[in-house]
A and B are shown apart, each in its own frame.
Chain A
Amino acid sequence: MERGLHAVPQRKASAEGNFYPIKANAIGPGMNARIQRLRKLSVETEPSLSIERALHETAFYKENYGKYSIPVLRALNFLDHCQKKTLYIGDDELIVGERGPRPRSVPTFPELTCHSVDDFHVLNSRDQQRYTISDEDIATYAREVIPYWQGRTVRERIFAHVPDEWRAAYEAGVFTEFMEQRAPGHTALDGQIYRKGMLDFKRQIAAELAALDYLSDVEATDKAEELKAMDISCDAVILFAERHAELAEALAASEAVLQRRAELQKVAAVCRRVPAHAPRTFHEAIQMYWFVHLGTITELNGWDAMNPGHFDQHLAPFYAAEVAAGALSREQAKELLCCFWIKVNNHPAPPKVGITARESGTYNDFTNINIGGINSDGKDGVSDVSYLMLEVVEELHILQPGCSVHVSSKTPERFLKAACKVIRQGHGYPSVFNPDVYTVELLRQGKTLKDAREGGCSGCIEVGAFGKEAFVLTGYLNVPKILEITLNNGVDPLTGKQVGIETGDARSYTSYEQLYGAFLDQLNFFVDTKVRVSNYIDRMFAKYAPAPFLSVVIEDCISKGRDYYDGGPRYNTNYIQCTGLGTTTDSLSALKKHVFEEQSFSMERFLAAIARNFAGEEVLRQTIVNKTPFFGNDDDTADDIALQIFADLLAAIDGKPNVKGESFHLNMLSTTCHIYFGKMTGATPNGRLAGKSISDGTSPSHGADTHGPSAVIRSLTKLDHTMSGGTLLNQRFLPSLLKRDEDVARLAQLIRSYFTLGGHHIQFNVVDTATLKAAQNAPEDYRDLLVRMAGYSDYFNDMNADLQQEVIERTENESF
């Protein structure tokens, strides 16, 4: 899922993927000229839309729909596209393959949701996250693609079904639904594909087909269709690779430069080997993963693209063996990793339909490389490849793939410090995860110890058992909105529509407990409303959009003869991501203190002030903001409220059955949705103005934490993270706190402290001048910004404009 871009001001599309002015040389960052050129092409090519896949698919469906079972139809459709798709092997490339006909070109997936002509015009012309498409292509799409899919898309099937109360809550911004436009995803792989080729999978599939018991297994026929589909999809990716081999050979034949000719011949040989067979070399291993990655994101558009999981651990044996044998140098290995990194960056997220500016997100498709951590035996997983990857991350500075470092109690200090030095660069990554805690999270959900240890984070902060689990994120829950609706007796004050249940006039409440009880009733109502529809959607994907290729590479789908979307994987989890813990806590804390305990302001006055967005109520608002215990300050008064909310979110969600015989869990992820939710939520009792972002993940409300990072950590670790499927903590740091090497050591110790106390994830945004300028305009959201220098410290907000300007200039010049 999306990483912490949200705690810093939103950047323009042009800034994404290239975070800093290129100073080093004319071409840009990178270890050598090849990487510099590949990076430049990736960073500077504007994302575009390709209609090729949709054309192939529409023609195929017109011709074949009804002739085959759905799984086989899907597999043949995939095979057909792999046969016909335009290939791309660019100059300089060592790792090959693109989802579209060229880098940064994204196909559409009309079987799930079909873009309209209007959508294309919006995508083509909006300022941020633009995707170009020619008028000619739009016309072709309107003629060939759109008419066929009218009424046939999964999205239309879903919306035709949803009950009124779901629609009302969805439109009010109480929750989002992930699967209305993209397939369930958040999938990461384990080490299987480095030991088995597609031919090995095909043998396994054949054995399962032969063993089907039509006499006593009522599902035998369905299993047979699914297994046949898996078999066809293996052929599809082998064919796809073979075509690349042929193209590379043809390019080699006409290549005049000897070195490049040899490279192309090598590329061809690698593509002949993988994915049909298991890889034998470092190069083959990376290309193996890349073909599997491309296969899964071409077959469907699952959320978070695809993730290699513990990529450093998977590549380490190949690296060690080849380096020992003198067949691979450190530089060659690094170059191949750079090529892979840039390949991921070549693949922006598929754009949604019905997009308005406010919902538009990012090009990031959230492939997240897990670096470090522990292996499935519980031993330290850091290797030479881990350090190589950190170097690549630091040097390339590209948007994708995201990366995270995993720091267990066994992780060497050297690795953590190396990671902290990358963090100091201020690009917001890597994020840092605690395997000691998430292993327990996964164990609690019923995974075996070995499978839990092989888990990690797939996109943002959500964890799963890599290679063995479908962990489906179903959507975000806007918890502050639920409080807003509670305060309005079930009505959404923004539209005046009744969206919740009637829980009474808030002005009649005589105690805080009464208010909180009403909030709980609303919470349970909305969670149940969401889960009902999630369960329906799960079945829609299982029935109409199975993913046979993805099912091949996720363990137990073959042996069960079931699809990834149909309970095939060993584990099947649904998540609801709860957003706005900080905002909700602070709001309840404000009402508790000022209305019920001190009775300094009446509920009537609060509600009236909120309704007017605090216009003319600055004294009330400032009193709330400055004189209320807020979450994130190690103040039990507020933190106890957060604990109560967390416990009740768990009670509402955790353990609810899903349609795959397992259950729902919660995580505390927000991605950038807290911005959208903020826009859908009026002013809140914590003094937050209407439309402003709600708090992200489990982070304190913006600027509410005024006692520094250690107090934030103490507050956060009062929550039992092992009960969740992930929490999220963003911390802002001024560069002055990270200047010296000793400061980096302190940062490492801060992380160790957080993890020792049971933290799941932490991420640091080293603030830039843009953030400081934003702080000048919206001081309240930045009350946590502490300017520190030896012997002096003050809050940024407390400084006068001249001095703030000076701090901005110093930050610019890194002269703290």
Chain B
Amino acid sequence: MQKGLIFDIKRYSINDGPGIRITVFFKGCPLNCRWCHNPESISPKIQKLFTTGKCIACGECCRICPAQACTLSAQGVVTDDSLCTLCGKCAEVCPTLAMQMSGSYRSVDELVKVIERERPFFDQSGGGVTFSGGEPLLYPDFLVEILEACGRRQIHCAVDTSGFVSKETLLRVARHTDLFLYDLKMIDAEKHRRYTGVDNRLILDNLRSLAESGAMIQIRIPLIGGVNDDNDSLAASAAFIAGLPGEKKTVNLLPYHDVARGKDLKLGQVRDLKGLCEPAQMDLERAIDLFADFGLIASVGG
């Protein structure tokens, strides 16, 4: 049986589609957005996270490491990435969870069992499961298999995607998906490249094709102050969305929060977050009004 690399499963998820949901986060993303709230989702490999504040310098990890990659320093445990084989033994023995492995390979059966535990909440709320990431479509065969398994159990399935995948894959997944949460960052191609590392032509084409296929779609727009919250940028997105075939799409605005920067530290990385800022309440309201001018219903969160 195939497995998918999962870095988190969140129960009582109320921001990823209708009702009370469980969200399964796949690890690995073709985009590298500057503002990413979950930077551990980007690499498609298992990674080691280290939370300095939790380390009590007990040295258990250094003792257990078969590759001698961990050393205790004044700043806490330092891992020599050139030696580390990501075997995970250090995280196993770490008493404080300062050392954690992000990502584990899970089978469809395993995941379905966890998802099933939330069924009473789905039943009461019209919720279901959301596959998010990272990019779940990086694992198309696995994703289709689990979508089919959930579909057989009549569990509502949402897929949160960047849209940066082949059209065939997207449409294949669409046959098993009840709702897409489709991320749309911005229309300006150059800016898109600059902030996400990839071209957006494929994303926009795919969105149009997906809409043509009759799939249910909610558009998610991360709203980043100083990047895509200006009227021109918003109007371009709104015009594109309004022009999509099929029913009018609803738009969820996900305001950027700079609290996410704490996660970078755990990955031992530093990202340039200069120029990114949180949109003010006023900007959110302005954005909602602007979408309304295009006949689109936008709301914050979702």
Contact = CB atoms under 8 A, between A and B. Distances in A.
Interface stretch (A246-254, A467-475, A703-711): A703-711
B58 interface: yes
Nearest to A711: B11
B120 A757 contact: yes
Contacts of A745: 125
Nearest to A788: B15
Helix, strand, loop or mixed for chain B's interface? mixed
Contact of B95 (A622, A707, A753, A791): A622
Given A618-B56, A756-B124, A800-B262, A708 B302 contact: no
A423 interface: no
B118 A710 contact: yes
Contacts, number: 116
Contact of A799 (B22, B118, B252, B262): B262
Contact of B262 (A620, A627, A794): A794
A760 B125 CA distance: 20
Contacts of B263: 794
B14 interface: yes
Interface in B251-296: 252, 254-255, 257, 259-263, 265-266, 281
B19 A792 contact: no
Contact of A709 (B12, B58, B261): B12
A59 interface: no
Given A618-B56, A626-B97, A800-B53, A634 B117 contact: yes
A599 interface: no
Interface string A793-812: 11000111101001100000
A24 interface: no
A354 B281 CA distance: 55
B38 A710 contact: no
A750 B11 contact: no
A218 interface: no
A12 interface: no
Contacts of A753: 20, 120-121, 123-125
A526 B43 CA distance: 57
Contacts of A623: 95
A746 interface: yes
A746 B96 contact: no
A750 B21 CA distance: 11
A685 to B, nearest CB: 15
Interface string A597-638: 000000000000000000000111111001100000010000
A800 B15 contact: no
A742 interface: yes
B37 interface: yes
A619 to B, nearest CB: 5
Interface string A746-762: 10011011001100000
A791 B20 contact: no
A803 B56 contact: no
B38 A619 contact: no
A743 interface: yes
A642 to B, nearest CB: 17
B20 A710 contact: yes
A740 B301 contact: yes
A739 B51 CA distance: 29
A769 to B, nearest CB: 16
Given A750-B20, A756-B120, A794-B262, A707 B11 contact: yes
Nearest to B56: A618
Helix, strand, loop or mixed for chain A's interface? helix
Contacts of B222: 791
B10 A708 contact: yes
A789 interface: yes
Given A634-B117, A746-B125, A756-B120, A618 B58 contact: yes
Nearest to B220: A791
A745 B124 CA distance: 11
A792 B301 contact: no
A710 B11 contact: yes
A307 B252 CA distance: 47
Interface residues of B, number: 45
Q: How large is the interface on A (under 10, 10 to 19, 20 to 34, 35 or more residues)?
A: 35 or more
B141 interface: no
B31 interface: no
A737 interface: yes
A714 interface: yes
A753 B220 CA distance: 28
B216 interface: no
A752 B124 contact: yes
Contacts of B53: 800-801
Nearest to B280: A815
Contacts of B38: 791-792
A297 interface: no
Interface in A415-458: none
Contacts of B265: 800
Nearest to A746: B14
A815 B302 CA distance: 17
Interface string B119-163: 011011101000000000000000000000000000000000000
A794 B53 CA distance: 15
Interface in B1-22: 10-12, 14-15, 19-20, 22
A790 interface: yes
A787 interface: yes
B60 interface: yes
B12 A710 contact: yes
A792 B12 contact: no
B254 A807 contact: no
A576 to B, nearest CB: 31
B300 interface: yes
A790 B262 contact: no
A792 B95 contact: no
A621 B56 CA distance: 12
A803 B262 contact: yes
Contacts of A627: 95
A181 B10 CA distance: 48
Given A626-B97, A710-B121, A756-B124, A792 B257 contact: yes
B95 to A, nearest CB: 4
Contacts of A711: 11-12, 117
A803 B22 CA distance: 26
A379 B54 CA distance: 54
A711 to B, nearest CB: 5
Contacts of B96: 622, 626
Given A622-B96, A743-B14, A800-B53, A749 B262 contact: no
B254 A790 contact: yes
A464 to B, nearest CB: 29
B262 A708 contact: no
A792 B118 contact: no
B257 A619 contact: no
A799 B120 contact: no
Contacts of A621: 95
Given A740-B300, A792-B259, 5 more contacts: A619-B56, A626-B96, A711-B11, A789-B15, A799-B262
Interface of B: 10-12, 14-15, 19-20, 22, 37-38, 51-54, 56, 58, 60, 95-97, 117-118, 120-121, 123-125, 127, 220, 222, 252, 254-255, 257, 259-263, 265-266, 281, 300-302
29 contacts: A620-B95, A626-B97, A708-B12, A710-B11, A710-B22, A710-B117, A710-B121, A711-B12, A739-B301, A740-B300, A740-B301, A745-B125, A746-B20, A750-B121, A753-B124, A756-B120, A788-B15, A789-B257, A790-B254, A791-B15, A791-B254, A792-B259, A794-B262, A798-B266, A799-B262, A800-B262, A801-B53, A803-B261, A803-B262
Interface of A: 618-623, 626-627, 634, 707-711, 714, 737, 739-740, 742-743, 745-746, 749-750, 752-753, 756-757, 787-794, 798-801, 803, 806-807, 815
3 shortest interchain CB distances as A-B pairs: A622-B95, A749-B125, A792-B37
